[in-house]
Chain A
Amino acid sequence: NAGVTQTPKFQVLKTGQSMTLQCAQDMNHEYMSWYRQDPGMGLRLIHYSVGAGITDQGEVPNGYNVSRSTTEDFPLRLLSAAPSQTSVYFCASSQNLQGEYYGYTFGSGTRLTVV
């Protein structure tokens, strides 16, 4: 029972480089999302997906792309990294149930530094 797996755990990028942060879950959750957390701040929603083939923007989507080709995977792409994207990134998933809600499961995070 791996839960939500994020890779890599740490990454240093140069300004202008691109990269993909990976997120995979093995719980057959339909809902997945990406958050970023800056020092001393709460989490801010970047993008989310309510199922394979369906994605939408959150609070801070600029500079990030996502896709959801399978239920298990929800990668986050930085096309041209900027120092302002230095942050800790968390992926989360949840069952998509009618009615009551059972809580998000978060990954352990990817710590990204853009120099």
Chain B
Amino acid sequence: DAKTTQPTSMDCAEGRAANLPCNHSTISGNEYVYWYRQIHSQGPQYIIHGLKNNETNEMASLIITEDRKSSTLILPHATLRDTAVYYCIVRVGNYGGSQGNLIFGKGTKLSVKP
């Protein structure tokens, strides 16, 4: 799997947009970008994923650059409950032995402040 690089930590003011960057310069053509988050000691929660087009769901938006070497997760109106560790992961979309597994890095610790 391609490796990702994320900032260790970020702060965001409550009500403002949180923009979390991720670099994945060695991503392959068949690898998707996935975002998960882990609130305190809970199990990780799936947020969103994409291949090359921008994606939006009820939780967040995912912006992928045209060359696919980086992406940004956007939480449009951050709340205190969005304080968590955010993981950016790349992997192939189809299951196929070990290629189907999610490999987690250390992520970005986002602190939303009042």
Binding site for B on A (CB under 8 A): 4, 31, 33, 35, 41-45, 48, 50, 56, 58-59, 88, 90, 92, 96-109
Contact B100 A109 (CB under 8 A): no
The answer to whether A96 and B101 touch across the interface, beta carbons within 8 angstroms, is no
Pairs of residues from A and B, 5 with the lowest C-beta to C-beta distance, nearest first: A106-B43, A103-B46, A42-B104, A43-B104, A42-B106
1/0 per residue, CB under 8 A from A, across B56-98: the answer is 0000000000000000000000000000000100000111011
Using a Cβ–Cβ cut-off of 8 Å, how many residues does chain B contribute to the interface with A? 24
Kindly identify which residue among B44, B94, B102, B106 contacts A98, using a CB–CB cutoff of 8 Å: B94
A41-B100 CB under 8 A given contacts A92-B43, A103-B46: no
> Which of B41, B43, B45, B103 has the most CB atoms of chain A within a 10 A radius of its CB?
B43
Bound: A59/B104 CA distance, A: 11
- On chain A, the residues within 8 Å of B100 by CB distance are 31, 48, 50
* A56-B98 contact in complex given A99-B93, A105-B46, C-beta closer than 8 Å: yes
Contact B49 A106 (CB under 8 A): no
Can you identify 6 A-B contacts, CB atoms within 8 angstroms? A33-B102, A45-B102, A48-B101, A96-B95, A103-B49, A106-B44
CB–CB A101/B32 < 8 A: yes
| Distance in Å: Cβ of A20 to nearest Cβ of chain B | 19
Structural contact, B43 and A56, CB atoms closer than 8 A? no
